[in-house]
Amino acid sequence: MDLSMRWLNDYVKADMPIKEFVADMTMSGSKVETYHKMSDPINNVVVAKVLKLERHPDSEKLWICQLDAGREEPVQIVTAAQNLFEGAIVPACMHNSTIADGTKITKGKLRGVASNGMMCSYAELGLTKDDFDYPVADDGILILNNDPDVDSFRMGMDICEALQTDDTIVEFEITNNRPDCLSVLGLAQEASATFDIPMNYTEPSFKGVAGDITKEISVSVENTKLCSRYMAALVKNVKIGPSPKWMARRLRASGVRPINNLVDITNFVMLEYGHPMHAFDLRYVEDNRIVVRNAKEGETLKLLDEMAEPVKLTPEMLIIADGKKPIAIAGVMGGEHSGIMEDTTTVVFEAACFDGVSVRRTARKIGERTEASSRFEKGLNPVNAEKALKRALQLIEMLGCGEVVNTIIDENHSEYVPERLKHDYKWVNEHLGSDISENEQIEILKKLGFGYENGEIIVPPTRIDMHRACDVAEEVARIYGY
């Protein structure tokens, strides 16, 4: 799991030195494999504005530029780039700066004229054209005037801060018994307990517009053993476009390529809440029916994976079908026509809970292990489907990319009851060889998201690994400190 520290700080202000963060997280049970700063080794590259352009007296191709780089005096830089104009906002390397490939930039002279740095392209910042939601030149200087946040840029501002690439990525090794930590919120809970910092989290909610989803689409679950819960929401008047920069940056930091606002929301929620989602274009859901069933002998499905051949489905595989055909393999991947297109106008959002063993076997058989299947196969709780769906709908309204119908279909066949474990603090101390008071043990458990009532620990739905007294002892020990 790649964790963006920018994203983590939305929930827990972990502003300690990164070496302290990774060491303490590892010691409390969240093993860190490695970490890196996205902007390394870029240094002393700032946002600047072109104030004046004039031709070099001894060259038809060189320009002498005067830049406002937040210094007391304009900075003069000579360049051969031909895409500049007065008023252009650009990244500028100051004297003694470093660009992405490690090249050092110093002041000098070009044909006898002083040049106190260099303006750079996106490649020299270690970026690609896909990192921008607006057109950028294939070559030449990166022009930032169309950046959605340009009004907040200060001249002299660090370019990595302006482009939100000043992020540190921490790679965690997540064990199979902790699928809750395959999410930003799960790791935020761990960080909150480890450093005794309160979490800044509120339950997601949405307003919606009046409407009855059941008049637009129906849902039936034929195999309730392999699908304990299936929730569907409807979004109308969808506006497909790029995601805001903050969302795109968080996705990229997590190793996910932004595609468009609707698809990005499903990926964002999966990474944030650890619960996979899918979005169907209603046009391609025949008969406006969603049926969760086992595949029939002889059925095939062309997946969203453009390189893959159609998959031969077998009866033990759980699929999502419409009124006539399969449209997705449950918990693994959607079908070719189940995705979101540029002209999509009405979307059905799915949040479900599929059996982990079934998903793992299916993913292995068809050779398509995905981010979604890797989470389902470890075991997810049906309670989390509702939170994930509400978060997706909340983001739809935040981004203004559609109208959420305020009714939801919820085929809930789970019998989930929060697990309760008797808390015997004396036994915990005997088991650990420790002397930790009852109140201190309770406070540690509460920091980890557990409830406490009448001498019993109430296990949160995300913690599928908690069943015995020794599990409780482990939680106390790792946060108290070995």
State residue 337's pLDDT score. Answer: 80
Residues 150-155: contacts with CB under 8 Å, at least 24 apart: 150/89, 153/47, 153/89, 154/47, 154/70, 155/46, 155/47, 155/48, 155/49, 155/68, 155/69, 155/70
What pLDDT is recorded for position 307? 62
Residue with tokens 């088991």: 431
pLDDT tens-digit map of 313-342: 999 999 999 999 999 999 999 998 888 888
Q: With 90 as the cut, is the pLDDT of residue 135 above it?
A: no
pLDDT score at 66: 97
What integer best gives the mean pLDDT of the chain? 95
Residue 144 has pLDDT above 70, yes or no: yes
CA distance 292 to 289: 10
pLDDT band at 403 (very low <50, low <70, confident <90, very high): very high
Contacts of 215 (CB under 8 A, 6+ apart): none
Q: Which residue has the tokens 């999509």?
A: 344
pLDDT band at 361 (very low <50, low <70, confident <90, very high): very high
What token pair was written down for 26? Answer: 């590892």
The model's pLDDT over 445-457, given as tens digits with 9 standing for 90+, comes to 999 999 999 999 9
> What's the rounded mean pLDDT across residues 248-252?
94
* Mean pLDDT of the region 274-279: 96
pLDDT score of 466: 94
Residue 336's pLDDT is: 86
The 10 Å CB-count burial string (b at 16+, else e) for 244-255 is ebebbbbbbbbe
* The predicted structure's pLDDT at residue 482: 87
Tell me the pLDDT tens digit for each residue of 2-28: 999 999 999 999 999 999 999 999 999
Model pLDDT, residue 60 = 87
Residue type, 86: E
Q: What percent of the chain has pLDDT over 70?
A: 99
What pLDDT is recorded for position 306? 66
Amino acid (1-letter code) at residue 83: N
Q: Which tens digit of pLDDT belongs to each residue from 182-214?
A: 999 999 999 999 999 999 999 999 999 999 999
Whether the predicted pLDDT of 130 surpasses 90: no
Strand 289-294 to 218-221 pairing: parallel
- The fraction of the chain above a pLDDT of 90, given in percent, is 90
